[in-house]
Structure 1
């Protein structure tokens, strides 16, 4: 058994993370030079994310057949997303006000270096409501894939799916072609996932080598608050949601633990998306629901990101001594309900979204304050990425049950088999 453990991707990622941390700690300069391995793996995954999302959404909508049914599933998913992300924002805001992680730093706004955040400030200037809505529309059908803009890919996929359901026999032929294309895409994903240990090693070696273990002390309280809040949200809020939907959150987390470890190692929820699509189908969720809800959640249901954004905003305000009224904090919540939805499609998403949010507080909090969290952002990204991926996986299970499209007998069998039950390397054959 132990002799064959090294062949398991889950074990390989765990070992790679441990080796990366060790190298970064004992040889920081060499650890920093490992960054290209982490970046390269993330780029490989992002290379297939757009096509995979497009195919799964289009095929999912087409297999629903009834466009009204497809719209109903999408509407239910969006309602669920809004309720859960609002809860995440409120919980993050409450914890930040109670824990006061930034109080006592007494940083003068004039001491902040605007050069560190200049590029993010420029990007944030474009994040008005009109700019956000116009930014969802790609310049062409292919530019969404070229730019790897997730929101634009979603729009193209929805339009393509609607058109295909209204195209009769021609639409059916295209559906068969996309079904076959999905087999190839998921085979590419399987090949890319073999490089996951290398990516996890590079990402962790760079983070520890660049920032070191000691630098965590100064902002450790903020990090602890973010991690604790994400923990409470997952096992408190999502635990109750899972129980209401008829399944055990803990058994579900054990079932998807390989994907969680992959996300933790790479600090990217996108790295687990292709395999999670298959994992949820294997757990009894109908393919049409999985293909529509899960990819959409990657743009509209970023629970971990919402928690991080509220806590980082309050932390910066406390650090510079800015007094925020109840009205200011309500404005903060309202703005984050919008800006957090664009986080998946913006370069430097966390900082850009944070700056766009702070800019709405009537100048009370200097946007240069974002520089205070740049150093530890990498260490908090695991918490928000894991929370995001768990939140979206739970959302898919809930919406599938809501629509009567979850096979609970199949779900229980999958949970009993556990993650050691190998998934197919390709998408399921058309039915």
Structure 2
């Protein structure tokens, strides 16, 4: 069933490409009534994608809370939790530096903004991106939820992680008295995994609608005008994938090939919907299938969604330098190193901020006196770039979880029972290796 779902998603992707281009080619008339009608059609298709993403958001909060609390409770002691947390944060920082540096090196190598064949927006043009959406003070205070109900209602993953940490550590301290609560939260996790299976059945339709809507409205022309910029950025992401998977191979070994196999479906889902969040439940299941104990995956993965967005990292340096090149603004090596460090700090506060990468880029442009209007150059193709960024984020967090599980010496043997990608025809829920919760 898992392979069939992947094939259905691929079919939806290809069908969406064909229908989207057909609608745009038939109705597009350079801003006339036909173009507006194509945009209206795209709006109707977007309803399907929006519904699917809302279904995903519906299950994210209880899934993160239940799996993380159970994972911490089964770690047995706060020392193990601290060790895993330290290793996760250290890995995230190293990966962020590598991603930012790789983007900086490759944008200087490819020079996609030099000699741009399209008009550069006036320096005083408004980009429409609100830089006030992020600042250090708000980020620090925003980490701790004022209300767990509010954090869950808004799907604030970082706040949910903080609250879950407190609950999990509290359960560990209470000990046997909290056993009924652990069983209840464990049952909630299994129910949410089952609900995930139901929701994922709509994924092919959502992918079809998302791709159709995007191409019906945008058409292939905008891609053509910025093809070199997009192509070089995808080359950069491909190299980052190779680097991440290569490091994983050095640490985890030949078993890394299985990780690549298991994350194909969540990766494809993230790419086609341009949403890392849409792939979260399936990534969690793929890691369990690979052998990462739920107590580690359920801790590292949500933390990674807040601090380890490798696709967004490489995009920030790449896009910022592209805009500087387009305006002919030279940046010295010192400026570029400073930019890398600024992005390294500010990017850690973008969790939950809409269009987070663009917000951080806008703030960075202002810091170096680069016209913020340059964002208008990439806004038109940002959705297509976001598809690659989202897929890269899935790869980065899957690799992080596998590596940390290996460091902990807790990768389950391959013969262990794992979660089935979809429920069996008999209607039974997903099978879970109960022993893996014990590490």
TM-score (norm 1): 0.90
> Could you tell me whether the CA contact under 8 Å between 1:25 and 1:213 is conserved in 2?
yes
Which residue of 2 is the match for residue 60 of structure 1?
71
Cα 1:195/1:188, change in 2 over 3 Å? same
Which residue of 2 is the match for residue 70 of structure 1?
81
Please, which of 285, 297, 306 is the counterpart of residue 290 of structure 1? 297
Please, which of 12, 18, 29 is the counterpart of residue 14 of structure 2? 18
Please, which of 8, 25, 46 is the counterpart of residue 35 of structure 1? 46
Which residue of 2 is the match for residue 392 of structure 1?
397
Cα 1:215/1:193, change in 2 over 3 Å? same
Matches within 5 A, 1:172-251: 172-251=179-258
Distance 1:403 1:154 in 2: 21
Which residue of 1 is the match for residue 409 of structure 2?
404
Gaps in structure 2 of 5+ consecutive residues? 25-37
Cα 1:99/1:419, change in 2 over 3 Å? farther
> Could you tell me whether the CA contact under 8 Å between 1:190 and 1:425 is conserved in 2?
no
Task: Tell me the C-alpha RMSD between the 2 structures.
Answer: 2.6
More displaced 10-residue stretch of structure 1: 177-186 or 88-97: 177-186
Distance 1:181 1:420 in 2: 18
Which residue of 2 is the match for residue 146 of structure 1?
153
Offset of residue 65 of structure 1 = 0.9
Cα 1:420/1:51, change in 2 over 3 Å? closer
> Could you tell me whether the CA contact under 8 Å between 1:107 and 1:320 is conserved in 2?
no
Which residue of 1 is the match for residue 306 of structure 2?
299
Distance 2:74 2:423 in 1: 27
1:86 to 2:93 alignment = no
For residues 177-230 of structure 1, the C-alpha deviation after alignment (integer angstroms, 9 at most, x for no partner) is 101111221121111111101110111011111111121111111111111111
More displaced 10-residue stretch of structure 1: 22-31 or 67-76: 22-31
Which residue of 2 is the match for residue 381 of structure 1?
386
For residues 253-301 of structure 1, the C-alpha deviation after alignment (integer angstroms, 9 at most, x for no partner) is 1232122222222121222211221221222222211111111111111
Q: Kindly tell me the number of residue pairs found equivalent between the two proteins.
A: 417
Distance 1:6 1:251 in 2: 15
> Could you tell me whether the CA contact under 8 Å between 1:151 and 1:344 is conserved in 2?
yes
1:162 to 2:169 alignment = yes
Distance 1:234 1:139 in 2: 38
For residues 139-184 of structure 1, the C-alpha deviation after alignment (integer angstroms, 9 at most, x for no partner) is 2121111111122111111122122211223322211110111122
Distance 1:288 1:196 in 2: 27
Matches within 5 A, 1:248-327: 248-327=255-334
Distance 2:62 2:406 in 1: 27
Secondary structure of 1:345's partner?
coil
Offset of residue 419 of structure 1 = 8.0
Offset of residue 421 of structure 1 = 11
More displaced 10-residue stretch of structure 1: 198-207 or 259-268: 259-268
> Could you tell me whether the CA contact under 8 Å between 2:211 and 2:272 is conserved in 1?
yes
Gaps in structure 1 of 5+ consecutive residues? none
Secondary structure of 1:104's partner?
coil
> Could you tell me whether the CA contact under 8 Å between 2:347 and 2:360 is conserved in 1?
yes
Distance 2:90 2:297 in 1: 16
Distance 2:431 2:306 in 1: 23
Matches within 5 A, 1:290-369: 290-361=297-368, 364-369=369-374
Offset of residue 313 of structure 1 = 0.7
Cα 1:160/1:420, change in 2 over 3 Å? closer
> Could you tell me whether the CA contact under 8 Å between 1:107 and 1:319 is conserved in 2?
no
Which residue of 1 is the match for residue 115 of structure 2?
104
Offset of residue 327 of structure 1 = 2.5
Distance 2:288 2:80 in 1: 19
